[in-house]
Structure 1
């Protein structure tokens, strides 16, 4: 079995592929066109974000047995069509869950205490102490939307600060735990002082956080998004920020993250966000730490190895390299 790796990856993945007796070609420097042309000759593909694996590409790959997504989300892969074709899809959300949880906590503390704004002011010779008086996280109710790997790790960290954590997940049942209380969406929108998104991009979630959503939240609140940019309509977010319904926002992701390709409307929305002193922006790095880079490859490698044991009927033996 042969696998094509088209993005940069931690070498620990190579060890797991060797254990699984899967030959691999590591071609992170290949163009998208070169990768797609070669892919029909492989049974496996490891990809991060070099290209979307759509129905057209899948149909050209008659030998394909598995795809590994070196990251948490799989919105650049047509997972439903893979399922129909009997192709296995692996992803590694466990690998960067700690990074996302810590980044989310950093966002929240920075917003509540005006850290980014105050830093900019002081560096420019402006000393505004009273205007930058902060809020204590312990006094807040934090609402998490989505309670998978990222949501759970975030709740674990928030619990240590003594705040109340409530969580809504459309696809789970009976998921209350010591760190978070399961509630309906309506209760979350009624009680939350801070809302943090931890959901994948889907037909349902695409554009879900819009004016209607903001209006349904009872209190002025802070918004955190470390999930996917297209979930939040930036035009509507700007309106909510200007009206005071959203007190501040911290976004690690945007609707269009290729800033050189923004449409006129996207450029206007982005500029309004960038100029708002109550907005913090980071370049999709919430799950992008030195540690998570290695852990993602390790998790992905373990999953592929375990699958290969069953697929090839080899004796089951899973040892860490």
Structure 2
């Protein structure tokens, strides 16, 4: 077996790989050279420099594993790898402690004004009274996102005797209590926290999660720290808030544009900036190298790696049987993540018909969990860690089997209960993934593109009014289906539309007469 290491990684990882494979270290290889030589290799290891593009993947006729010695895989075309049956693996746990410690370092520097005091002394000044700080002792820390990194911040903040509030829609109050934190809504966290630190992924839902309104809610002495992703904090709003003493200070390791050239934020004394170095420690880089080396060795030895991002781990025969239902399960999980709100309490899955006798159904459940959890966590959720992540968040997952399948060959029934609502889906596979029931209303929907789901009273003119409202915003309806149980009662409408639907438009639909709820979904 042959491995090419295209970026610099820790030497221990290289030596471990050399025990089982022929290793080529080519840390200055160009994209053109990589396309030329990749056909010789079974695995490639990269960090951030090398881009594993579709062109590289298609040229890698022997390629079995693409390993990213770090967390994100932005430089890997995961879709192309999946199409070619190539595993994409990473090392999500390698940076958890490192980023948590960097967050704590920024917190300390803000509290004691260490950075600007250092500059003052080095410029020949001795301005003790100018740098009056605060203690973290007995202060309230608000953590936005309670994943792997957020959990490590909790451990360290407790040593400072801080009270800890957590905002995470996917962790229950009970699970939070077990960790010694209080799970609250975002507005409560913003109002009560002295320091706020962010540990969520950048998604359409979290972009500018902290903007003008949120900063106006915060204490005027509060600090905000972002070591997650640029764009979660609205930098224009942050500049205004810092400039006008709406909040006390901020520390950013990440920016909307990197490097942040000509950003007015860099002119402010109450803004502390570092150049995206949250994961940059020798220990983190060592651990990342060791983790991916071990994963590659596991694959070469016929085992099941822990951090596969893009495909289930099963033999080729069972994979062929289960592949259509894996696609369906991923779609159903994504549907549920977008359609539900609140903290998930229970997830019930029932496999009906022939599917109840098929092998490895647990992989389908894990795939649904992936679809539900991945969009809201900073670390990737895969088929191995999905159940433990759900358990840590207080989600009770149950599975059942049923012979009856209501005229279909197979059906997957998925029901989610949150602290705010309940939602159910029935899905099947007939040449393609289909949703055949939503909240027990019969429909026939292929989950793709942009969809609008509306619950309404089946009264004359309601359907037309909803269509007119979308038309007012130049949103074109491609197809429409309705489901109802009785005339004049509650009904559900499923619209496929040609454009993305802003949340502001959904809010307008929800305020219409006889409309009970509405949500937009993207696939």
Coarse TM-score class (shorter-chain normalised): 0.7 to 0.9
- How far apart, CA to CA, are the structure 2 residues paired with 1:57 and 1:75? 15
- 1:248 Cα offset (Å): 1.1
Q: 2:215 maps to what in 1?
A: 214
Shift in Å, 1:87:
2.9
Gapped regions of structure 2 (runs ≥ 5) = 305-523
- The structure whose Rg is larger is 2
Residue 148 in structure 1 maps to residue 142 in structure 2: no
Report Cα offsets for 1:74-114 as digits up to 9, x if no partner. 33334455445543222223222222222111110110111
Higher helix share: 1
Q: Residue 3 and residue 69 in structure 1: after superposition, are their counterparts in 2 closer, same or farther (change >3 A)?
A: same
SS of residue paired to 1:46: strand
Question: Match of 2:16?
Answer: 16
What does 1:208-287 align with in structure 2 at a 5 Å threshold?
208-215=209-216, 217-220=217-220, 221-257=222-258, 259=259, 267-269=261-263, 272-287=264-279
CA drift at 1:13: 1.4
SS at structure 2 position matched to 1:4: strand
2:250/2:270 contact within 8 Å kept: yes
- Cα distance between partner residues in 2 of 1:212 and 1:251: 19
Q: What is the CA distance between 1:194 and its match in structure 2?
A: 1.4
* Separation in structure 2 between the aligned mates of residue 23 and residue 202 of structure 1, nearest angstrom: 39
Q: Residue in 2 aligned with 1:121?
A: 120
Higher relative contact order (CA 8 A, sep 6+): 1
More divergent stretch after superposition (111-120 vs 36-45): 36-45
Q: CA 1:211 to 1:64, structure 2 compared with 1: closer, same or farther past 3 Å?
A: farther
Q: Shift of the alpha carbon at 1:64?
A: 3.0
- Is the contact between residue 6 and residue 26 of structure 1 (CA under 8 Å) also seen in structure 2? yes
Question: Does the CA-based 8 Å contact 1:142-1:192 persist in structure 2?
Answer: yes
- Corresponding position of 1:290: 282
Stretch deviating more after TM superposition (27-36 or 150-159):
27-36
Correspondence for 2:507: none
- RMSD (Å) for aligned C-alpha atoms: 2.7
Q: Deviations over 1:101-132 (max 9, x none)?
A: 22111110110111111222233343333332
Contiguous gaps of at least 5 residues in structure 1: 260-265, 313-321
The TM-score, its normalising length taken from structure 1, stands at 0.82
Structure 2: distance between partners of 1:47 and 1:14: 12
SS in 1 for 2:187: helix
Greater mean alpha carbon deviation, residues 226-235 or residues 282-291: 226-235
Contact 1:99 1:287 in 2 (8 A): yes
Conserved 8 A contact 1:70-1:92: yes
Relative distance call for 1:218 and 1:45 in structure 2 (3 A) is: same
Call closer, same or farther: CA 1:12–1:116 in 2, change over 3 Å.
same
Q: Does structure 1 conserve the Cα–Cα contact (< 8 Å) formed by 2:6 and 2:50?
A: no
**CA distance 1:249–1:5, change in 2 (3 Å):** same
Deviations 1:227-274 (A, max 9, x none): 2224333233212211323321111222333x4xxxxxx5332xx222
Tell me if structure 1 keeps the 8 A contact 2:243–2:268: no
* Higher mean displacement: 73-82 or 22-31: 73-82
Distance 1:49 1:105, change over 3 A: same
Taking structure 1 as reference, are residues 157 and 283 closer, same or farther at Cα in structure 2, changes over 3 Å only? same
Please tell me whether residue 5 in structure 1 is matched to residue 5 in structure 2: yes
Go from structure 1 to structure 2 and tell me whether the alpha carbon gap of 1:88 and 1:205 turns closer, same or farther (over 3 Å shift): farther
State how far apart, in whole Å, the 1-side matches of 2:56 and 2:192 are.
Answer: 46
**Do structure 1's residue 200 and structure 2's residue 201 form an aligned pair?**
yes
**Partner of residue 300 from structure 1, selected from 289, 292, 304:** 292
Q: Give the structure 2 partner of residue 263 of structure 1.
A: none
What per-residue deviation string (whole Å, max 9, x for no partner) do you get for residues 125-152 of structure 1? 4333333211111132111222222212
> Partners in 2 of 1:172 and 1:77 — Cα distance?
30
Counterpart position of 2:92: 93
Q: Distance in 2 between matches of 1:139 and 1:80?
A: 47
* Counterpart check, 1:75 vs 2:74: yes
Are the structure 2 counterparts of residues 300 and 201 from structure 1 closer, same or farther at C-alpha, using a change threshold of 3 Å?
farther
Of 110-119 and 124-133, the range deviating more from structure 2: 124-133
Assess if the C-alpha contact under 8 Å between 1:75 and 1:202 holds in 2: no
1:169 aligns with 2:168: yes
Measure, in 2, the Cα distance between the counterparts of 1:122 and 1:277.
15
CA contact (8 A) 2:43 2:296 kept: no
* Cα 1:276/1:80, change in 2 over 3 Å: same
Residue range with higher mean Cα deviation, 145-154 or 101-110: 145-154
For 2:246 and 2:61, the matched residues in 1 are separated by 52
